[in-house]
């Protein structure tokens, strides 16, 4: 007889969510984490960066207060106090997760676990070693920051997304290497605080997978902020000393900055877990292969979240955890629809999307309709002074089914909820157009973009 129903390796958003849901459904659960409860997202990713983002955004608004008829003379940013607040937020949330696990009687263990066979795991902890057997094993170990071949993170001049969260002084200049979601977010945070920003990335796109119209608008906003953009370039050599970082790029251009941030992606934490010995199949990059239920090549073993390489998003990991538990307990219809997973990037303004881009839709369907609406045409954005951005709708022609929603603008991370529901449920343009949106609000831009796709927008100039 097994020691528990579920043995879960990794207590990030995917792991602890799966643990709580399994316990809610009456299963016995052992949850193992080698680092901090909450994983990358809660401790070094989504949550702490958003705490700093909130401070930076408020600072930016206060500096622009005069345009709203207000005076905020002498406003300054204190990064040390911002970091203290960030730490308090993270500590509070981590404590809350611990309470939830205890309330559901999840057996949480600090330690490192690796597979001995299809049902057994050896756990190494400060208290010693033990072996545990389980009916099902869920792998939720996530990823780690990938190294740069030239810029080695030293946590002084060169940082990764973990160490930069604890800077105590605002750098005069920041060289963001790698771009992507984290790179763009930290560029916006430190740019708002006064750092001169330079960004480089091997590809031309600041963030992979953006709709072309959204990408063009985002790049225009970065240039408006006077960021030095060197996308499509590579670092050939670099020098690091007490004066900062100096790099020579493949194009021959040079960059000098007080500090550098390396955001060249993540690699899966699939090594050292005994996966190959247990028969769990990996792809060439080390991600665990899974089916639509999250099940690996071994029937009793599931994998969720960043470890699978499908989507590196905390909410995707959480949802995949719920699906894995449900399927393991007999719900054969529990599946993950990867194309209906929304993404949000906390730039200023925010960026969010779900489903297909226009280019992807045109590759798949013979008839495609699109509609868009500029945020500045809304009464609410004019009143608030947040004018930048747009909403874009992509629909399959004929059926008029919404297959993609792309938003760059204020509150995009919240607005994408309606778009996600539309894509996930195959809602038609007419149904959305008949949904009344309160005035004056930001969601009206979504409605106007839908109507534009139908050729009926009221306020599009």
Residues tagged active-site: 439
Q: Bridge partners of 370?
A: 394
Long-range contact pairs involving 270-279 (C-beta distance under 8 Å, separation at least 24): 270/139, 270/141, 270/307, 272/114, 273/9, 273/113, 273/114, 273/115, 273/139, 273/141, 274/114, 274/115, 274/116, 275/115, 275/139, 277/115, 277/117, 278/115, 278/116, 278/117, 278/118, 279/118
150, 233 in Cβ contact below 8 A? Answer: no
Helix, strand, coil shares of the chain, percent, nearest 5, are: 35, 25, 40
Alpha carbon of residue 355 to chain centroid: 15
Q: Beta strand pairing status for 120-125 and 128-139?
A: antiparallel
Task: Write the Ramachandran bin of 124: left for phi over 0, alpha for psi from -120 to 50, otherwise beta.
Answer: beta
Residue 422 tokens, joined: 């539309």
31: nearest Cα among 49, 12, 47, 44 = 12
403: nearest Cα among 442, 452, 367 = 367
Q: Bridge partners of 128?
A: 125
Q: Cα(384)–Cα(139) distance, rounded to whole angstroms?
A: 45
Number of H helices, E strands in the chain: 13, 22
283, 15 in Cβ contact below 8 A? Answer: no
Distances (CA, A) of 87 to 83, 174, 356: 6, 22, 37
């Amino acid at each position: 007889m097994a020691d528990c129903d579920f043995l879960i390796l990794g207590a990030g958003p995917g792991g602890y969510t799966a643990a709580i849901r399994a316990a809610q459904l009456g299963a016995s659960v052992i949850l193992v984490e080698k680092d901090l409860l909450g994983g990358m997202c809660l401790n070094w990713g989504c949550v702490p960066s958003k705490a700093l983002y909130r401070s930076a955004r408020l600072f930016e608004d206060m500096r622009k207060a005069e345009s709203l008829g207000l005076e905020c003379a002498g406003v300054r940013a204190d990064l040390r106090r911002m970091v203290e607040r960030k730490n308090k937020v993270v500590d509070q949330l981590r404590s809350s997760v611990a309470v939830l696990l205890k309330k559901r009687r999840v057996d949480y263990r600090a330690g490192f676990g690796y597979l001995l066979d299809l049902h057994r795991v050896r756990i190494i902890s400060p208290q010693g070693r033990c072996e545990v057997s389980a009916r099902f094993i869920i792998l939720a170990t996530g990823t780690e920051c990938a190294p740069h071949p030239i810029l080695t993170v030293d946590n002084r001049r060169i940082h990764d997304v973990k160490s930069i969260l604890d800077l105590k002084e605002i750098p005069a200049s920041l060289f963001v290497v790698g771009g992507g979601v984290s790179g763009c977010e930290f560029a916006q945070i430190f740019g708002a605080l006064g750092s001169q920003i330079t960004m480089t990335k091997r590809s031309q796109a600041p963030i992979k997978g953006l709709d072309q119209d959204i990408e063009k608008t985002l790049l225009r906003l970065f240039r408006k902020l006077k960021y030095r953009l060197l996308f499509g370039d590579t670092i050939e050599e670099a020098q690091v000393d007490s004066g900062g970082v100096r790099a020579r790029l493949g194009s021959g251009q040079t960059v000098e900055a007080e500090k550098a941030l390396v955001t060249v992606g993540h690699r899966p934490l699939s090594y050292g877990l005994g996966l190959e010995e247990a028969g769990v199949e990996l792809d060439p990059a080390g991600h665990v292969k899974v089916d639509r239920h999250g099940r690996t090549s071994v029937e009793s073993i599931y994998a969720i979240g960043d470890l699978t390489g499908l989507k590196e998003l905390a909410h995707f990991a959480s949802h995949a955890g719920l699906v894995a538990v449900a399927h393991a307990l007999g719900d054969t219809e529990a599946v993950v629809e990867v194309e209906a997973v929304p993404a949000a990037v906390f730039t200023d303004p925010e960026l969010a999307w779900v489903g297909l881009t226009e280019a992807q839709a045109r590759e798949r369907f013979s008839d495609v309709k699109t509609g868009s609406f500029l945020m500045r045409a809304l009464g609410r954005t004019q009143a608030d002074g947040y004018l930048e951005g747009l909403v874009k709708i992509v629909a399959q022609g004929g059926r008029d089914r919404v297959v993609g929603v792309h938003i760059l603008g204020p509150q995009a991370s919240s607005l994408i909820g309606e778009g996600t529901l539309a894509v996930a449920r195959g809602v038609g343009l007419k149904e959305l157009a008949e949904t009344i949106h309160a005035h004056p609000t930001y969601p009206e831009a979504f409605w106007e973009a839908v109507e534009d796709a139908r050729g009926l927008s009221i306020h599009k100039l």
